[in-house]
Each structure stands twice: as structure tokens, then as C-alpha cells.
Structure 1
Amino acid sequence: MNLGRAKAVPYTDTPGGVTGIDKQPVDGPVRVSAPGPKGVGGSGLAGDAVCKKEHHGGDDQAVYAMAREDLDGWEAELGRSLANGAFGENLTTQGIDVSGALIGERWRIGAEVVLEISSARIPCATFQGHMAEDRWVKRFTQKGAPGAYLRVIEPGEIRAGDPVEILHRPDHEVTVALTFRAVTTERELQPRLLAAGAALHPEAREWARKYTEEYGV
């Protein structure tokens, strides 16, 4: 579990030039709850800074999860250590294929919190600056393992090391990875996203609807 504090950096265009992407591990307990609509609400984790609310945070992007296994793969490729939270994730999981999870899939974290997967993380210029790697956004996109945004279904407290239990897997094939490809490099996949229904992030759902209408597919 990782939280970020607002920090001034030279590589972001947020108001005041601050970002909360540099998240650090904490033991907790940390309160998790729905933060409110995008543009108003920030992170779903108490004490976690979101500095550009028009693009980050809000109910449908309340929590960001990344698999430790994916971080380990990047460590080998980049030749450097990546601590939990290095990609700006709130939850660093083990033993779960986060990018292979289904939109609408629900996880119980610890005894109280239930989260629902809504979309894939899309890399931005702040992420590029934070990582300080050449062509980082392109490389991250090509890898196709972006990690997942989740919304809060049942609030509560979580702690580092809490187990993650998959409570529900929807009856469709729209994964986080498929969603990522559809909204980045393979727009022709967008009609397939509509099978996820209301569980899909509203912006991705609207893009898929418009594409389907435009091309008659």
C-alpha cells in the first residue's frame, strides 16, 4: 500500500508544479472510500495526494493497482530497482494478474474494503518525467500491462499485507489489457469494450459508443 504527498517537480504542468505520483509504502491502517466525482474528488485513500483532478482521481479512478510481478519485469529491463509505489500505484499486488483482470471484477481487500475494476491506467507526461527514462510513455504502452484503476464499492480500512480475494468475475472477456489497447494503439477494438456495460469507466464507454456509431460496427 502506497501513498503520495504533493511534491514540487520540474516535469509536471499541474497547478503549482506539484504531483503526488511519487508514492511511498505505508503500513496503515488507511481509510479507503469513494472520493467523489472526477474533477472534484481525489484519491480513494486518505492521505494520498491527487494534484490534477481533471485527469486523475475521482470515483472511477479512486485506487490504482499494479502487480509486483510487472514491476519486477521492468526492473530486469531497466536495470534498476523499483520499489513498491514506483509507478504511482496505491496497491502493489502479488499473485494477481492485474492487467488480465476483467472490467467489473470485484476484489475484497482485508476484512472490509471491496473494490471494482473500472479501467486501465493511461501513461502521461508526468509519469514520463517521474520515471526519467527515454521514450517511457511509448515503451510502457507497447508493454501493454498498465495496471488497473478501481472504484470503491464498500469502504473501510486496509493495511499493508492484507489479502486480496476475488469476489466476482463478470461474464465477458473485456480485460484491463484489452481496454488499454483499445484506447491507445488499437482503436478498432473499442466496440468490444461495450460488453463490459456500466462497469466500464464512463469515458472509455463513451469513446467506444462513438466509435461504434461512427463506423457502424
Structure 2
Amino acid sequence: MSAGRVTAVSRNATYAFSKPNHPSVRLLAGLGVEGDVHAGETIRHQFRMTYEPDLPNLRQVHLMHEELFEELALKGYEVSAGQLGENITTRGVDLLALPTGALLRLGADAVVEVTGLRNPCSKINDFRTGLLGEMFALDPRSTEFTFKSGVMAVVRQSGTVHPNDPVEIELPAHPHRALERV
């Protein structure tokens, strides 16, 4: 099912909060974004590597919905693609409503599997004071808070992704599992 499109692709070879935009990124099956510091089979998150270095990397690719930037602009925060550390920015895809295990075909070849929600870190406030508080919302399905800072995925099929590539969604078999923090 066609859902939307890619609006930007970003990567950074060094640990930094933001990731510069590029004309394309190459996704490598089982690893992540080629040339990105978070690519790898095991955890590459700077803090989590200190206490969980051998766990599988469920955060190979960070996807974020461009609509979030518009929501933040209404609250006085100017944010654009890559600035919150995402690799792939989308439009027209309700990323936060996807179930765990949903497959996203990005462009002609690349396929990622959604593993969970990105938990926002305190560095968001270093980027824009007060922005961290905007990354939480009350989940309408429960009385708990959820994260709005995008989803994490692993690469199932290699391929190159460009801005304006289509995004197609394949949902897993029922019962669906709601996204949790990874």
C-alpha cells in the first residue's frame, strides 16, 4: 500500500546531534545507513554501548515524519530535516501509528522493518531549549505518554533512497503489536 514519500535523507559519520542532508543514502541489509555512525549489527547508540554493547542494533535507521516540524513551528520551534538526528524524513506516513514489524519499502529496492519508537533524549533541549517537552504526547489508546520523535528500524533489504522516493507499507499479520521504545 502506497503511503507517502521520502522528503529528505541524512547521515553523519561522527556522533553529533544533527545529521546533514544528502542527495541519497545507501541502506545496507543488517547494518543501517552506509557511512552513518549508528550503522552496525550491534548497538551503536553512544550511551547504550557502555552497558549493552553486544545487543542487536534495533536502531539502525531513524525515520521521522516531516509533519512534526510543522507542528513544532506552530509552537515556535524551527526544525528541519536531519536536525533531530533522523536518517529518513517522510511525508504522508503515520509512522507513530505503525505496528511493530511493519515493513517500509523506500524507493525501488530498500526495505526497513520498524522496531519501535525513538525515545527522545535530553540533548534535544541543548538543540532548542524546551523542545524535549514537545516530544511527548498522551497516547489516545491508553492513559500513558508516547514519544513523537519518530521510529527506529532495521534494514531488511539493501537499496539507495532519495528524496521524493515513494514509501510503501506492508503491515505484519494480526495481531499487531503497538510500538514501544527501543
User: Could you tell me how far apart the structure 2 residues matched to 1:69 and 1:138 are?
Assistant: 17
User: Could you tell me how far apart the structure 1 residues matched to 2:56 and 2:12 are?
Assistant: 16
Report the AA paired with residue 174 of structure 2.
D
1:124–1:137 Cα contact (<8 Å) kept = yes
Secondary structure of 1:172's counterpart equals coil
The residue number in structure 1 matching 2:135 is 140
**Alpha-carbon shift at residue 26 of structure 1 (Å):** 1.1
**Alpha-carbon shift at residue 46 of structure 1 (Å):** 1.3
The residue number in structure 2 matching 1:25 is 21
1:120–1:148 Cα contact (<8 Å) kept = yes
Cα gap change, 1:107 to 1:46, in 2 (>3 Å):
same
User: Could you tell me how far apart the structure 2 residues matched to 1:45 and 1:175 are?
Assistant: 25
Share of identical aligned residues, percent?
A: 23
**Alpha-carbon shift at residue 116 of structure 1 (Å):** 0.5
The residue number in structure 1 matching 2:10 is 2
Secondary structure of 2:64's counterpart equals strand
The residue number in structure 2 matching 1:75 is 73
Q: Which structure exhibits the higher relative contact order, with contacts defined as CA atoms closer than 8 Å and separated by 6 or more residues?
A: 2
Higher helix residue share: 1
* TM-score of the superposed pair, with normalisation by structure 1: 0.63
Higher strand residue share: 2
User: Could you tell me how far apart the structure 2 residues matched to 1:174 and 1:4 are?
Assistant: 31
Cα gap change, 1:155 to 1:138, in 2 (>3 Å):
same
User: Could you tell me how far apart the structure 1 residues matched to 2:116 and 2:128 are?
Assistant: 25
- Unaligned 5+ segments in structure 2 are 1-8, 39-43, 50-54, 139-145
The residue number in structure 1 matching 2:35 is 47
**Alpha-carbon shift at residue 33 of structure 1 (Å):** 1.3
1:31–1:45 Cα contact (<8 Å) kept = yes
Report the AA paired with residue 22 of structure 1.
S
Rg larger for = 1
Q: How many residues align?
A: 156
Q: What whole-Å deviation, never above 9, does each CA across 1:41-84 have from its counterpart, x for those lacking one?
A: xxx1112224744537963111011111112111211x232111
The residue number in structure 2 matching 1:63 is 61
5 Å-filtered alignment, 1:69-148, equals 69-77=67-75, 79-129=76-126, 131-134=127-130, 136-142=131-137, 144=146, 145-148=148-151
- CA-based RMSD of the aligned residues comes to 2.4
Cα gap change, 1:33 to 1:138, in 2 (>3 Å):
same
User: Could you tell me how far apart the structure 1 residues matched to 2:78 and 2:132 are?
Assistant: 19
User: Could you tell me how far apart the structure 1 residues matched to 2:122 and 2:30 are?
Assistant: 24
